Structure 1
Amino acid sequence: MTPADLSLTVLHAVRRAVDDGALRVDVPPVVKVERARPGGVGEYASNIALTLARPAGRTALDVAGILRERLRDAPGLRGVEITGPGFLNFTLRREAGAELVRAIREAGSAYGSSTALAGTAPVRFAGPGDLARPGGLGEQSDVGEPSDLSGPGAPAGTARTARTARTARTLRPADLTESRALIVTATVVRLLRGQGADAGFGGDERVHVRPGEYRPEVLGVDAARWALLRPAPQDRPLDGAPLLVQHERNPLFRVRYAHSRVRRLLANAARLGFGPAYETPVDAPELLGLLGDHPRVLLAAARHRAPDRVARHLEATADALLAFQHTVLPLGDEKPSAAHRSRLALAEAAGTVLAGGLSVLGISAPDRI
């Protein structure tokens, strides 16, 4: 069970409680589920009972008890506990790891996409004269269709066609490669598309970012994009020089290196005569949790127009994978076993998530570094 599945399961419990007459509230469109905080109970938690308590005219503990009764036998849940003033805490069944790995393998790089934001208003570009203005974007520019930005082989922030802008000047392709605003907007369009939104141009929304220059000719495409996308929109772009250093202090290097390590693990396992197959539970709660959170992170990044959330999540996933990788292959005279095949399957799933996340940001995921 992924966090998205758990969110739906809790939402269905709320709906059943309303249908049964146990709760008199409007069913919310979504239930927020988060990783349990350190010292908490279980693996995930939700404050849905506290949210519904006032409109239901009940205490949060009463609402939590009503929902727990409807969650006891939910597939994928091993336990549901109530803590504090009415938080619901969830412990997943051990086979949840197999379900998660299977879901990632089946979806591939599309893992995490959904239709949650279908119908969201389009995002728009600014006129090039407004791009240097701190903190925001100005009037919309008519720069072509969304496919001009994110078609196969097109760099993020670069349009293959450009028409006359409302600023009474013609945009050249070069104008569309030098602004952080355009890089962020292009990435947001890809995020929204992954979430099922009808993302395009011509709407009223503007993505507000601090200005920054896109310098692929100096840093290379990958480092240039990371420098603009990794900071939060209101923060300054990163200094590009440290992003070119192949060292663990460089987060971009760690993310791409973690993906390349997965490719080497798969190749080395093949030479040893085995491949990935999740056959037995793997004790890697941090990595499993991060992979399960990937759909939620993509949705939040699209909803809040914040690609930096994806970058931070990729860093955490890469760090967890690099700490886990040493357990994957047999050591010494050890023979490959179901445990090794399962760990390899989990590592492969992590590599898929890293590659998919980097792709959203318009950054490559090399097989070898």
Structure 2
Amino acid sequence: MTPAELSRTVLRSVRGAVEARELVMAESAVPERVDVAPPPHPGCGDYATNVALRLAKDAGVPPREVAGIVAKRLAAVPGIDGVEIAGPGFLNITLGAAAPEALVREVLAAGTAYGRVDAPRPGTPNELRTGAPNELPTGTSVEFRTGTPIDLRLAPGPRAQVVGGALRAVMEAVGEGTRGGGEDVRPVPVKGADGEYVTGEELVARLGVDEMRWVLLYPAAHDHVRVPERPVQREGNPRFLVQYAYARTCALSRNARELGFDDPGVDLDVPVGDSAGGPSGAGGTHDVPHTPLHAALAAYPAVLGAAARLRAPDRLARHLEVTAEAFFRFLVTCPPLPAGEQKPMAVHRARLAVAQAAGTVLANGLTLLGISAPEHL
């Protein structure tokens, strides 16, 4: 169950309570959307929502009472293992044991289409993987597969060109059109230490294409860009961290093949869950708990939607950083490869499937931003 699906489930529970008069409030007071997110502290379930606090005033009862009504309905939903009320009325939701497996299977089955409204057309936006600037002429209008126009009026300068190109790719991925008359793309322009505007050629010569695009895309459009002296090839650099994480997912798959267990037809000791395997050799993942990495993978489609809706490709860049950080923590807590003389087991294949799903999301996101996803780094 993805965050978007869980959000809809919570909303259905609220509406059901209103229709049954368990919550006495106008149907018009029910929000159109409900936010769910990983809780700020571990051990508080897989996701949390503040919907009860939002409804309490209109319902005329304390938030914890609202939370109790919604929690009772949520607890009866298949795929939800438990719901707890915390603090003034927050709902902490724990998903069933099969949820991580279902998520991984969904990501691997979708591949490059994960998070998109449809599979990408040849050359769009996979051509961005080459690292080409993907600049759009000012006033460009392109068509979605649905026929919805994207009209973007780009301000002069390299940042507007890069942001506009990435925004167009993200919007096309989720089928998000613009309002009539087009929209301006006018991020704060880039200036050097001397106060002069910096050109795209100068940035590429100084940073290279990938670092240049990341530096221009990572801050919000209204924030100023701090241009580094040179690209830093270490994990303290978010762009390097994301690319390195993707390269590590590729290395894990190569190493697994050398050990002979990346093939879904290979039988492993101690079968776990569905030993027949799934997409890309993913066996059952019941022994892999829901982790922050699963939360990041599940949130990816919603992040794409928000980036398109808010015209903010920086949200995608920062989510890729979160995903990369969660991936490296996952490697520590759930090593995908056997250590020493240990034989490969089904749990290793299950963990490897999670790593492969992380690689899918990282590559998809980098591609939309026009940044390369190197298999070796």
Decide: shared fold, TM above 0.5.
yes
Ranges in structure 2 where 5+ consecutive residues have no aligned partner: 141-153, 191-198, 263-280
1:153 to 107, 127, 131: 127
Quick one: distance in 2 between partners of 1:152 and 1:349?
18
Q: Is the 8 A contact 1:76 1:96 kept in 2?
A: yes
Q: Percent identity?
A: 46
Shift of 1:256: 0.6
1:191 to 150, 170, 182: 170
Which residue of the partner structure matches residue 232 of structure 1? 220
Shift of 1:284: 6.1
**1:299-344 CA distance string (max 9 Å, x none):** 2222322222211221121122223336111112111101100010
TM-score under structure 2 length normalisation: 0.78
Mapped pair 1:89 → 2:92: yes
Quick one: distance in 2 between partners of 1:268 and 1:151?
30
Shift of 1:238: 3.3
Give the number of the structure with larger relative contact order, counting CA–CA contacts within 8 Å between residues 6 or more apart.
2
Shift of 1:356: 0.9
Shift of 1:105: 0.9
1:279 to 281, 284, 288: 284
Quick one: distance in 2 between partners of 1:316 and 1:301?
15
Quick one: distance in 2 between partners of 1:283 and 1:257?
24
In structure 2, the CA distance between the partners of 1:189 and 1:56, relative to structure 1 (3 Å rule), is farther
In structure 2, the CA distance between the partners of 1:291 and 1:330, relative to structure 1 (3 Å rule), is same
Quick one: distance in 1 between partners of 2:340 and 2:240?
29
Q: Is the 8 A contact 1:224 1:240 kept in 2?
A: no
Quick one: distance in 1 between partners of 2:247 and 2:67?
45
Q: Is the 8 A contact 2:155 2:186 kept in 1?
A: no
Aligned length in residues: 324
2:46 to 19, 25, 43: 43
Match of 1:79, SS state, is: strand
Amino acid at match of 1:5: E
Amino acid at match of 2:184: R
> Which has the higher mean CA deviation after the structures are superposed, 342-351 or 212-221?
212-221
Match of 1:269, SS state, is: helix
Match of 1:71, SS state, is: helix
Instruction: Give the superposed CA RMSD.
Output: 2.7
Quick one: distance in 2 between partners of 1:28 and 1:197?
21
Shift of 1:151: 5.9
Quick one: distance in 1 between partners of 2:161 and 2:40?
36
Ranges in structure 1 where 5+ consecutive residues have no aligned partner: 116-146, 164-174
1:291 to 294, 297, 303: 297
Match of 1:258, SS state, is: helix
Q: Is the 8 A contact 1:156 1:187 kept in 2?
A: no
Shift of 1:112: 2.5
Q: Is the 8 A contact 2:52 2:90 kept in 1?
A: yes
Match of 1:322, SS state, is: helix
Shift of 1:150: 6.1
1:202 to 181, 185, 206: 181
**1:54-97 CA distance string (max 9 Å, x none):** 22233222221221121112122110111222111101112211
Q: Is the 8 A contact 1:100 1:292 kept in 2?
A: yes
Which residue of the partner structure matches residue 350 of structure 1? 358
Match of 1:364, SS state, is: coil
TM-score under structure 1 length normalisation: 0.79
